[in-house]
Amino acid sequence: MEAQNITDPSTSEAIVTLCTFRLAGRLFGVNILDVKEIGGEIRISTIHHAPPAISGYMNIRGQIHLVIDLRRVFNFEPVPLAPSSRVIIFKSTVDEPFGVIVDGMDDVVAVTSERIEERRRKGDEVSQEIRERRRAPVELTQGVCKLDKELMVILNAKGIIAEAIGAAQTAETSAKA
């Protein structure tokens, strides 16, 4: 996981600052360095024939952003937008301009990189067959962090679009077979 250039003076370990949010009652986080802003007003223009995880486009101060519904990416039950729903907009360094709809925002959390358990141990290889079937070149999740009261799943912002589009392509390929 990419860490900020901050270290804990007492342990000399890298500290990662995460923007956390709720989705279907679960806690998720993304590196705050990837987040551009959090949008409260959600006005989305739908895209006909788009994959289910693609909610549409949003115009934010004249720039068009693709909007992904993370509930659909994770196969959670779809729900209508609530007053607590937000859109996390990612920086252009992550990918094309895009954002994700989440159920609600939580806190900004700083953890040492030691507390983050990698999704897969570095020695484990992902089966080439599984990677090809998913068609996602970048992993969606980076790891899990044990907090005092719960676990937080840490997402790789660069893997979100690939997962949303890759899942749709996999479903389309399966339907044709």
Q: Which whole number is the average pLDDT over 84-98?
A: 91
pLDDT at residue 132 in the model: 52
Across the range 20-39, mean pLDDT stands at: 94
DSSP class of residue 150? S
Confidence of residue 144 (pLDDT cuts 50, 70, 90): very high
- pLDDT of 160 > 70? The answer is yes
Strand partners, 100: 68, 88
CA-wise closest residue to 72 among 86, 48, 87, 52: 52
For position 6, what pLDDT does the model report? 57
Name the residue among 166, 16, 42 with its Cα closest to residue 100.
42
AA identity, residue 2 = E
Residue 101's beta-bridge partner residues? 69, 87
Asked if the model's pLDDT at residue 34 lies above 90, the reply is yes
Q: Which of 156, 115, 116 is nearest to 138 (CA)?
A: 156
Q: Per-residue pLDDT for 136 more than 50?
A: no
Q: What CATH class is the domain 7-176? A: mainly beta
C-alpha distances (whole Å) from 60 to each of 90, 97, 105, 118, 149 are 12, 10, 19, 34, 36
Binned at pLDDT 50, 70 and 90, residue 65 comes out as very high
Closest CA to 70 of 119, 105, 45, 118: 105
Q: How many CB atoms lie within 10 A of CB 7?
A: 14
pLDDT of residue 59: 92
Q: Which two tokens stand for residue 29?
A: 């986080």
What mean pLDDT is predicted for residues 57-84? 92
By CB neighbour count within 10 A (0-12 exposed, 13-18 middle, 19+ buried), where does 134 fall? middle
Cα dihedral 77, 22, 66, 90 in deg (nearest 10): -160
In this prediction, residue 171 carries a pLDDT of: 47
The pTM assigned to this predicted structure is 0.78
> Would you list the domain boundaries of the chain?
7-176
